[in-house]
Structure 1
């Protein structure tokens, strides 16, 4: 009779979901070579190849697809059972994996992630930043952090921050050469720092006031895909930036940047932690949720 250890089964599931050995190895906290050897040992005992391997890709074989279909539900039940027992721990242990955007990661790093590590010294936290929304569970994360409007409807959401908004800013040196815009349409005569989205499309600047809303494809010779670069460019007088209020608050207060069109950029729901509904919530995730609620209650 063939036998397979739990780590071998988890290895197969991780490679299948991640589409490669390197990403799966990171998820499981092991080396790529150890992961490959584990799967090879299981394949030898089974007498079939679970994966078709080339120098450029890894894909499930027909036998692998059948194996995943039959083993997956059993592994899910085992994880649920282990998470149920884990819930009885007095202190969480292990690794909490979060997926978020770079800007959101900056917002939660000090008040949540670092505080979490101080509270629970036996825990580790791994934060992965990506511009595009990913399948957090399929990619091996415990939870994600995004603005409310981006969260899939089938997820449970826990508010992290209160309302937030984006603002338009420019440096004093920039406004020495140009008048301040009074309406969004005035931006069509300004140099704007345009934003390239993770999808590849250009972001249209959005405005709303007293029921009137519009989105503009603003002009500009500089296009960037990262908010910190946009902020640096705005400080240097390269143009106007449409950027998170949180990230420019200190610059505005210090006079390094000037905010314009304030009444055209209303607030919207802020960051949320999100995760799938489960019968048993892991202790590590439950502790992070409790920290979020404690932090919100104190502000």
Structure 2
């Protein structure tokens, strides 16, 4: 069996071209280093170095084995860092982009909890319904509904089962009645927000047999989805939003779900980054934390 310290001495000797220099760097005696090389050569049944009184050079077999030895040491070091990363305290900056409604009203208190668990973490939170350009903006990860326009981004699920739901305030329903089927929405004031610069006014519903898409209209539209939710809570009209955004309002009685027998369109929540190399311990822990909190909200969803 090959010994790790023998491989280290072999690689360092090859890099320095000197057994004594390698021994000094590794804080062992020249005799110990020489014995390690002899032990390695015996185990491999190959001569790794051509030695003389004045020089030391790799043999052809030594050149061939050097790449494998380096790769083995690197793989072991990667594994060691991976295990250590799971144990070490998360620290340093973490830059997160999030949509307005979810970011302000749902994610914000979760981040307070997360930072309390990791007090050496420094958060930079960017709140906007505009898609963050992860290649240009100072952002590590972005939390968004749906899939990105850029297929080169890495998308990791946070709430794959999330959907949009139709909601209104009790006061609105008392004054205008409740829609009983999707077609009834044509007679209601529907509060609209902008998605990718366009009004999201085609609302889709499924009864399990067929999907219905209704073109809705209303007297208010905003590029900030949080404002649209606030209008709904104030009784100004109906809103068609991600369940994650309105779950707290529904549980508190500020909003009520309409058309509960119809499924709204899928609205999966994902975490995006430009490359998997960005999945640092801080990002991985944040994703797991948010994923768990989203799952708790999804369990209280009004659909099966």
TM-score of the pair, normalised by structure 1: 0.60
1:187 to partner: Cα distance = 0.9
State the match for 1:68 in structure 2: none
CA distance in 2, matches of 1:270, 1:294: 14
- 1:234-267 residue CA offsets vs partner (Å, 9 max, x unmatched): 2332222222323333443444433211222346
State the match for 2:108 in structure 1: 109
Q: RMSD between aligned alpha carbons?
A: 3.2
- 1:66-117 residue CA offsets vs partner (Å, 9 max, x unmatched): xxxxxxxxxxxxxxxxxx9x97663333211111211332333333x22332
CA distance in 1, matches of 2:211, 2:196: 24
Residues 1:153 and 1:187: Cα distance change in structure 2 (over 3 Å): same
* Alignment match of 2:223 (pick from 217, 222, 225): 225
1:75-224 maps to which residues of 2 (within 5 A)?
A: 90-105=88-103, 106-111=105-110, 113-150=111-148, 152-224=150-222
1:269 to partner: Cα distance = 5.3
How many residues align structurally? 215
State the match for 1:30 in structure 2: none
1:21-60 maps to which residues of 2 (within 5 A)?
A: none
- 1:149-202 residue CA offsets vs partner (Å, 9 max, x unmatched): 337433333322352222222233322333321111111112222223341444
State the match for 1:64 in structure 2: none
CA distance in 2, matches of 1:114, 1:214: 40
**Match of 1:107, SS?**
helix
Structure 2, unaligned runs of 5 or more: 1-77, 300-304
Indicate conservation of the 8 Å contact 1:104/1:145, yes or no: no
State the match for 1:20 in structure 2: none
Residues 1:295 and 1:255: Cα distance change in structure 2 (over 3 Å): closer
- 1:105-159 residue CA offsets vs partner (Å, 9 max, x unmatched): 2333333x22332222222011112212232132221111112433743333332
Indicate conservation of the 8 Å contact 1:167/1:244, yes or no: yes
TM-score of the pair, normalised by structure 2: 0.59
Indicate conservation of the 8 Å contact 1:94/1:124, yes or no: yes
Indicate conservation of the 8 Å contact 1:192/1:239, yes or no: yes
State the match for 2:258 in structure 1: 260
CA distance in 2, matches of 1:287, 1:169: 33
Q: Which is higher, the Rg of structure 1 or of structure 2?
A: 2
**Match of 2:261, SS?**
helix
